[in-house]
Structure 1
Amino acid sequence: MKVRVLKFNFLKKLMPRTLFARSLLIVVLPIIFLQILVTYIFYERHWDDVARRLAQGVAGEVAAVISLTDRFPGEEAEASILGMARTQMRLAISFEKGERLSIPAGTQEHYGFLERHLARALHESLPGRDFTIRNNDRLESMVIRVQLPNDVLQVIVRDKRLFSTTTYIFVMWMVGISLALLGIALIFLRNQMRPIRQLAYAAEKFGKGQDVEDFKPSGAQEIRLASKAFHDMKHRILRQITQRTEMLAGVSHDLRTPLTRMKLQLEMMGQDEATKSLQGDVEDMRNMVEGYLSFARGQEAEAVQTVNLSDLIQEVVENGRRQGMDITLTCASNITANVRPNSFKRCLTNLTENARRYANHVWIDAKDTRNLAYITVDDDGPGIPASQRGKVFKPFYRMDTSRNSETGGSGLGMTIARDVVHGHGGQIRLGDSPQGGLRVELLFPH
């Protein structure tokens, strides 16, 4: 069973990856197998039969000449027979008086396709007689020498009498038609692959949060249905995001008015212990409302631009230093990527704010690879246990269950950062920092 699995995996690795290549393989392989089968049958049957019959005809003519010379001896009869063979049989015949054949051992082992058929036919037509066959490439002919009782008969026959030229014509026509069909298949498959690539490009672009215009479905019926389903899905997702964002922004905005009134009323009251506790609760609610508004702004549509990430990272670092952060920046001079500038700065700001809240020092490193912009945010804080790293991206999740505004926010900072990164088609990962705290890795495609 294991051997079968290994063979299957090996064949799977040999298979092409793209749909175009696999479809082309489905078209090409039957044509190749059909050509091999037809060629084999043709060579085994047609060409072999034709070559055998032509060789039998030549051998019969040689046997007839020998029979005539045996029946009508004499120089005059011999000249008449040679003239008849030359004009009517198209054979160049001559007699070598008093010669004997020297037949080397293993001669027939070196015979080619035509020589083998001719030798077999001569054995049938001239039983008991020795002969040799030699191919004269320069004259495009076969030289046959037959041992007679006292002489050697030499016969020169043209190669064209021993094979049919229709063989090559058949092969050329077969190959030519196959190439023409293959060309038509290539054009057809390329036209069918174009709408699939268009759909894949649109899906990838939409997955990165970029604006995708509706395109006209084309291609086969199944591809048209897939394109229409993509358009419907895109509009439903955009409508849902818009409704959620508007609702969250509206609720958060409406809450700011009563919170402001409550804050003013508390300022006018006496500064006793109960009032201070209420003021702390109001401040917590205000921070949460600001977090909700920030989350809503992160969901707003913003145009994607090709920007220099180095400048945006420098702005975030300078803002953090003005707020008292201790930040060390290591950044390449020119890192370009297609991002939403405000969303990117909000993502990086949330990460640095989160690091400042739990650590004393923050290290930011940014570099440019061939296909990705790679950014790391390290700190020397307590870090996050591996069991909770997946939970911190959930909305409103906080490791500090006390809900103290001094030790944590509303629980939306990491959620906003993740949504921003995923909205650009990137990745965000959490790990252990070499500085002893948490490392956040950001990958943004170019």
Structure 2
Amino acid sequence: MSLPLLKPYVPRSLYARAAIILILPVVVVLLVVAVAFLQRHLEDVTTQMTRTVSREIKLVMSEMKDAETQEEAIALAGSELDALQMKARFLNPGEVPPAATRRWYDFTAPMVVANLTRLVPEVQVVSIPDSRNTMVYLETDLGFLELTLDPRRLSPAAPHQLIVTMVFFAVLMTSISFLYMRNQLRPITRLADAAQAFGRGRVVPYSPGGAIEVRAAGNAFLDMRARIERQIEQRTLMLSGVSHDLRTPLTRLKLGLSMLPEEEAAPLLQDVNEMQELLDTFLEFSRGASEGTPEAVDPAELLQQIVEDARRAGREVALTQCEGNGKVMLRPTAIRRAVENLIGNAVRYGTRAEISMALTPRTLRIRVEDDGPGIPPEQRNEAVKPFARLDPARNQNRGSGVGLGLAIVADVARAHGGALRLGKSEQLGGLRADIVIAR
């Protein structure tokens, strides 16, 4: 479990987190091995080798101490220089480099310089410019002496090769592990895509694969999807059957009432019409968002058609704003039903409705606003529940509904992977209903 302070910096994708799980231990092991190798192996070996060379330098200087000239000093130490495989020459003060030079990747050079200057006080500068020569500059009574020797006598040859080899094989094995990990994570990604598509009202082909646990989760998802589809189908068939069976006696009642005097039949006919409307509402709720198949739809064109149909029906509706262009995978029939329900509520409890749309790369928002009394904040969660009846502040007497209008809209929004959000309209002062759908 990640710490709260590190949580904002932890990747959210499964691939990135798995990559960190693979790479982080490898990096830590490399660092630990590299530090242990540099400190314990290289440092100890280099110290021993530089101590030996420092004794050899002192031997050469002891042979030169009785010389009166530089040429005599070189001659006196000639045999020792040959035996020790060193070269010596005296320099003018201006020829001595002011500072040591070394290769940037030479890890042992600082230790060599530190040990030689500590063990041989006469050493002024130590330069290791390449892998063939090391120049040690000493201050003597006869002038500055330059000793040239093989760097391999001061430290292990190419100490960085071990680290380079470690890094190379670490990268190679990590890459192979990452490719294998991708094959293991691909079934999880396919399962997530299928679940997300089903949550948005689409059924995509999916077959379980991968490890045993992933296959078990995939089979569980398929069973769950099948049960939900059967439940929706059974609910629709049941309510459709009930609605169909009740239409026949309602039709007979209408025919019977038509035989009565108009004054006596009017109240009863109104009751029959309300029962017919209730049946239609129940059937509409039973269909929910399952009607039609998802397809690429231009939401601006769809809303324009809905507004034009509402105007022809005598409703005061306006499409005020459409931001963004593009198509979205929607069920046009379900979205039309949801928007028409919101428009119906708006003109039932108010006098006019305004519709706007905002399309971004991540979401689609369809907004319907009215100038009615609105819904208090504490009742908005209750208003989207089926068969919810609010108090008289919403002026329920102006319609014969059963509280399924907003429930149908919320069901359609959820079937598209979105939600219905209620608020107060800043423009008109009434209810603001937003259908927000993730793309």
Cα drift, residue 86 of structure 1: 4.0
User: Which of 20, 23, 28 is the equivalent residue of 1:25?
Assistant: 20
Cα drift, residue 387 of structure 1: 2.5
Cα drift, residue 207 of structure 1: 0.4
Q: Distance in 1 between matches of 2:84 and 2:370?
A: 102
User: Which of 352, 363, 366 is the equivalent residue of 1:375?
Assistant: 366
Question: Where in structure 2 are the equivalents of 1:4-83 lying within 5 Å?
Answer: 8-66=3-61, 82-83=77-78
Question: Could you report, residue by residue, the CA deviation over 1:222-266 in whole angstroms, capped at 9, with x for unpaired residues?
Answer: 222222211111111111111111111111111101111111112
Q: Given the alignment of the two structures, is residue 261 of structure 1 paired with residue 252 of structure 2, yes or no?
A: yes
Q: Distance in 2 between matches of 1:354 and 1:172?
A: 72
- State the partner residue of 1:219: 210
User: Which of 418, 421, 424 is the equivalent residue of 1:429?
Assistant: 421
Q: Given the alignment of the two structures, is residue 445 of structure 1 paired with residue 435 of structure 2, yes or no?
A: no
User: Which of 128, 136, 152 is the equivalent residue of 1:143?
Assistant: 136
Q: Distance in 2 between matches of 1:279 and 1:408?
A: 15
Cα drift, residue 11 of structure 1: 2.1
- Cα separation, partners in 2 of 1:81 and 1:297, compared to 1, 3 Å: same
Question: Could you report, residue by residue, the CA deviation over 1:331-370 in whole angstroms, capped at 9, with x for unpaired residues?
Answer: 4395532111111111111111122222222222223333
- State the partner residue of 1:4: none
Cα drift, residue 54 of structure 1: 1.6
Contact 1:337/1:445 (<8 A) preserved: no
Q: Say which one has the larger Rg.
A: 1
The gaps in structure 1 that reach 5 residues or longer are 1-6, 124-129
Cα drift, residue 326 of structure 1: 1.5
Contact 2:346/2:353 (<8 A) preserved: yes
Q: Distance in 2 between matches of 1:94 and 1:381?
A: 104
Q: Given the alignment of the two structures, is residue 85 of structure 1 paired with residue 80 of structure 2, yes or no?
A: yes
Return the letter of the residue paired with 1:318: E
TM-score (norm 2): 0.84
Q: Distance in 2 between matches of 1:363 and 1:69?
A: 105
- Cα separation, partners in 2 of 1:342 and 1:155, compared to 1, 3 Å: closer
- Cα separation, partners in 2 of 1:445 and 1:22, compared to 1, 3 Å: closer
Contact 1:400/1:408 (<8 A) preserved: no
- Cα separation, partners in 2 of 1:357 and 1:53, compared to 1, 3 Å: same
Q: Given the alignment of the two structures, is residue 160 of structure 1 paired with residue 155 of structure 2, yes or no?
A: no
- Classify the secondary structure of the residue corresponding to 1:232: helix
- State the partner residue of 2:377: 386
Cα drift, residue 445 of structure 1: 3.5
Contact 2:356/2:368 (<8 A) preserved: yes
- State the partner residue of 1:290: 280
User: Which of 399, 417, 428 is the equivalent residue of 2:409?
Assistant: 417
- Classify the secondary structure of the residue corresponding to 2:423: strand
Q: Given the alignment of the two structures, is residue 116 of structure 1 paired with residue 106 of structure 2, yes or no?
A: no
Q: Given the alignment of the two structures, is residue 307 of structure 1 paired with residue 300 of structure 2, yes or no?
A: no
User: Which of 256, 271, 286 is the equivalent residue of 1:281?
Assistant: 271
Contact 2:74/2:88 (<8 A) preserved: no
- Cα separation, partners in 2 of 1:380 and 1:146, compared to 1, 3 Å: closer
Contact 1:335/1:367 (<8 A) preserved: no
- State the partner residue of 1:229: 220
Contact 1:425/1:444 (<8 A) preserved: yes
- 239-248 or 352-361, which moves further after superposition? 352-361
Provide the aligned C-alpha RMSD in A: 3.4
- State the partner residue of 1:350: 341
- Classify the secondary structure of the residue corresponding to 1:367: strand
Return the letter of the residue paired with 2:294: V
- State the partner residue of 2:202: 210
Return the letter of the residue paired with 1:218: G
- Classify the secondary structure of the residue corresponding to 1:328: strand
Q: Distance in 2 between matches of 1:382 and 1:94?
A: 104
Q: Distance in 1 between matches of 2:160 and 2:128?
A: 21
Return the letter of the residue paired with 1:393: V
User: Which of 322, 332, 337 is the equivalent residue of 1:332?
Assistant: 322
Cα drift, residue 412 of structure 1: 1.9
Return the letter of the residue paired with 1:379: D
TM-score (norm 1): 0.83
- Cα separation, partners in 2 of 1:418 and 1:58, compared to 1, 3 Å: same
Q: Distance in 2 between matches of 1:224 and 1:74?
A: 89
Question: Could you report, residue by residue, the CA deviation over 1:170-205 in whole angstroms, capped at 9, with x for unpaired residues?
Answer: 111111121112212221222222222212111111
Contact 1:362/1:379 (<8 A) preserved: yes
- Cα separation, partners in 2 of 1:93 and 1:379, compared to 1, 3 Å: closer
Contact 1:335/1:373 (<8 A) preserved: no
- State the partner residue of 1:252: 243
Return the letter of the residue paired with 1:216: S
Return the letter of the residue paired with 2:56: E
| Number of residue pairs the alignment of both structures matches | 421
Percent identical residues = 35
Q: Given the alignment of the two structures, is residue 194 of structure 1 paired with residue 210 of structure 2, yes or no?
A: no
Q: Distance in 1 between matches of 2:190 and 2:139?
A: 75
Q: Distance in 2 between matches of 1:73 and 1:382?
A: 115
Return the letter of the residue paired with 1:55: T
Cα drift, residue 404 of structure 1: 8.7
Cα drift, residue 114 of structure 1: 0.9
